[in-house]
Chains A and B, each alone.
Chain A
């Protein structure tokens, strides 16, 4: 009663406004086909919600999907390399393909069997995506069999961008920790891409359905406003999260420690790298664990590694506890790190409710523009320096790494390392003259032989074979050679950005390629010349010896050590425990 009174006095439109609204409504005819279509679908679907709420029963989910979907729709199932709307994926795989078929899936990741089942059953036929890590081999098979037609393989922000232009989802299926009956969502630590997916859908008159771990009277904070959400479905099981960024220190080898030490001296310290991103490899995990020990011995504390575009890596706990870290901007969260994060609001983006909010787009943006260096790893590097994670018979996609493992040509703010890398650039002057342009450091840290003793350095990437197999317009290369500044192996560091010619660059790569076929072709005199010019640094040039690379240098040697460092606040996921 009182509400209506207030509404009438303050918010009822004036006569003039009403008139304008009428004119807009008239002019809208013929320009609001999507709105009309959505309204039609919603008229049928709304009955599935409990009266006066947006809550739909788990058991009605498949029927709800059949009511809101039409054949040929673009559909986005939320999910990336961490968080998965797995219940909704399972339900989508159960809809009747005679009612709904030929969907065009626009989704960050293809990670679950149910994602594949949607295609196997003929419910969907086309796919635009970024990452397929766990099902890379199955995906390659289905592409060969013609069960999936791939539009393109993207990087995360690239696909998000397209969902706002030419890949607008009609229906989005997302995941949240909690919802209230009005559809307000709390997405918590693993907010990740939910806001981006919902916005792309809702502001194009699409339909948003959220699976939620629980219905509450009041959400701890509103991550997604309720009027952007059409249905919420409380599920028995919480949505799945993959602890992708947890590396067990027990598995770090002395060779990886050696690579880490070389990089710390030859790159991190040499370029004053304060703002950075790390990949998920063991080499970078080794660096994180070396900071409080070797890094401190070398007097690097306060000089490097203070600002991170990074997920909450458990291996960063000792560095955080030792006062190395100022700020971390994550893309997602990491399972088991929740309580630890809550205890460090100065470092992580913790909201007024006390829990963290991650944001994949903003994290990626920080990783593109605000960092000086990207340190990653890869499966293959070719003789020019191009690298790829795709090998024959597997289509793993790209994820978000290439958005960070690339120069940011639009960047305008200067930092010492960014300037230094550009001043050293051997080819810059020939292109733009003697201008301080700046350049992000992109570093590949690899052992010359990878898993199963497969050589990392190869003449030609498997990606080209895969391109032929799957008929892609371009080979699935993760990081192009012209973006790479440094390659670090157990043999030494190649400062490839300093090279003045492609020939020189190829010699520099050979010099650190060890006993691979490529490395065996290295010419000693060429290598020595490159060493003199500072383009190649061998361990002795950095005053380091493999005998110094001992596991005792790691500040934590096991998951249990990380738990200890965290004061018991890191709750290691069951699969990483050995107690």
Chain B
């Protein structure tokens, strides 16, 4: 089916397919997919297990442009095996990062240093529950390859994480998502290491009721994460809104972008531990306790109110120790 770029800008990010997100996040007509469905590179492991496969293995990767910036896009499809990462889609993801680095090096060689308006950018639209258990070893290797590339990209290629699709960023993809430089979300985005059902299974329904989706969102959802400072930009649910935000980030110098980073230095480890300590000291049992502690009123209404109003009243954790 033909996809109209202009229609995509208005389309709900949450409801868009991985491919629609990838196409809509970059300038009109610029997206080129690597190893698309026509290449039929499918998971060899799923075939052996007699499971259904997808010709793109549940991921869309490619390159497009925003202005003069080459933009490398990785977009996960949660509708296929929960977006979980296996050997093929994992390799597609990691090697897209590698191409972004190669592009950076090539530009550096050509111009002496990479021009600000041409610096390559990486966007990952997360929609994944983590490792694909059918091929878990390969999936874990893919995760470590991604993390290695993130390390290499640091302070060179801006790395933008988006969690705004139905599965969110869970399991190993939870920490990969948080390892990006900047995290963008709509109201539906989620980030977590352990999924709600697994938490319930391990520690019991009284501790965490996985059928209570309101509880899930106020614990792991975008508004909670925005207040905690884990989500940097909370956006309206259109692909266009996300593209606008990516453009603004692209205009920032790398040093500025790096300030948003959440992980990866001893200082940031200290900062994150201080949050854990605070939660222990104050005995927070629910996000609502933290919201009250931050001085917000009507905490019951926070998940319900329109996003615009929320952005006005939200009191966020101050970053830095």
Residues of A within 8 A of B (CB): 250, 453, 547, 551-552, 557-558, 574-579
Contact = CB atoms under 8 A, between A and B. Distances in A.
Contact of A579 (B11, B187, B212): B187
A11 to B, nearest CB: 54
A108 to B, nearest CB: 24
A576 B303 CA distance: 14
Do most interface residues of chain B lie in helix, strand or loop, or is the interface mixed? loop
Interface stretch (B100-108, B146-154, B213-221): B213-221
A250 B14 CA distance: 9
Given A453-B52, A575-B212, A579-B221, A547 B187 contact: no
8 contacts: A250-B14, A547-B1, A551-B15, A574-B212, A576-B213, A578-B166, A579-B187, A579-B214
B3 to A, nearest CB: 11
B12 A577 contact: no
A579 B188 contact: yes
A575 B211 CA distance: 5
A549 to B, nearest CB: 10
A578 B213 contact: yes
Contact of B15 (A250, A547, A579): A250
Given A551-B15, A579-B221, A250 B166 contact: yes
Given A577-B213, A577-B217, A557 B12 contact: yes
A232 to B, nearest CB: 29
Given A250-B15, A579-B187, A574 B213 contact: yes
Q: Name the 5 nearest CB pairs between A and B, nearest first.
A: A577-B213, A574-B212, A574-B214, A575-B211, A578-B188
Interface of B: 1, 11-12, 14-15, 52, 166, 187-188, 211-215, 217, 221, 223, 303-304
Given A250-B14, A250-B15, A575-B211, 18 more contacts: A250-B166, A453-B52, A552-B11, A557-B15, A558-B15, A574-B214, A574-B215, A575-B212, A576-B213, A577-B214, A578-B213, A578-B217, A578-B221, A579-B187, A579-B221, A579-B223, A579-B303, A579-B304
Do most interface residues of chain A lie in helix, strand or loop, or is the interface mixed? helix
A514 B223 CA distance: 45
A433 B213 CA distance: 59
Contacts of A250: 14-15, 166
Contacts of B52: 453
Contacts of B215: 574
A550 to B, nearest CB: 9
Contacts of B214: 574, 577, 579
Contacts of B303: 579
Contacts of B212: 574-575
Contacts of B14: 250, 558
Contacts of B304: 579
A553 to B, nearest CB: 13
Nearest to B210: A575
Contacts of B213: 574-578
Interface centre among A551, A557, A575 (most CB of B within 10 A): A575
Contacts, number: 36
A574 B223 CA distance: 17
Contacts of A558: 14-15
Contacts of A547: 1
Nearest to A251: B166
Nearest to A575: B211
Contacts of B187: 579
Nearest to B189: A578
B211 A574 contact: yes
Contacts of B211: 574-575
B220 to A, nearest CB: 11
A463 B213 CA distance: 36
A579 B12 contact: no
Interface centre among B1, B214, B215 (most CB of A within 10 A): B214
A549 B282 CA distance: 53
Contacts of A453: 52
A250 B303 CA distance: 19
A328 B230 CA distance: 47
B1 A579 contact: no
A560 to B, nearest CB: 8
Contacts of B166: 250, 578
A551 B213 CA distance: 24
A21 to B, nearest CB: 57
A558 B14 CA distance: 10
Contacts of A579: 187-188, 214, 217, 221, 223, 303-304
A579 B213 CA distance: 8
B126 to A, nearest CB: 15
Contacts of A578: 166, 188, 213, 217, 221
Interface centre among A552, A575, A577 (most CB of B within 10 A): A577
A558 B12 CA distance: 11
A27 B188 CA distance: 73
Nearest to B52: A453
A575 B11 CA distance: 25
A557 B16 CA distance: 12
A115 B166 CA distance: 35
A84 to B, nearest CB: 16
Contacts of A557: 12, 15
A146 B215 CA distance: 42
Contacts of B15: 250, 551, 557-558
Contacts of B1: 547
A244 to B, nearest CB: 14
A63 B15 CA distance: 54
A515 to B, nearest CB: 14
A250 B12 CA distance: 11
Nearest to B221: A579
A558 B221 CA distance: 17
Nearest to A253: B79
Interface centre among A453, A552, A579 (most CB of B within 10 A): A579
B1 to A, nearest CB: 7
A513 B207 CA distance: 48
A579 B212 CA distance: 11
A373 to B, nearest CB: 31
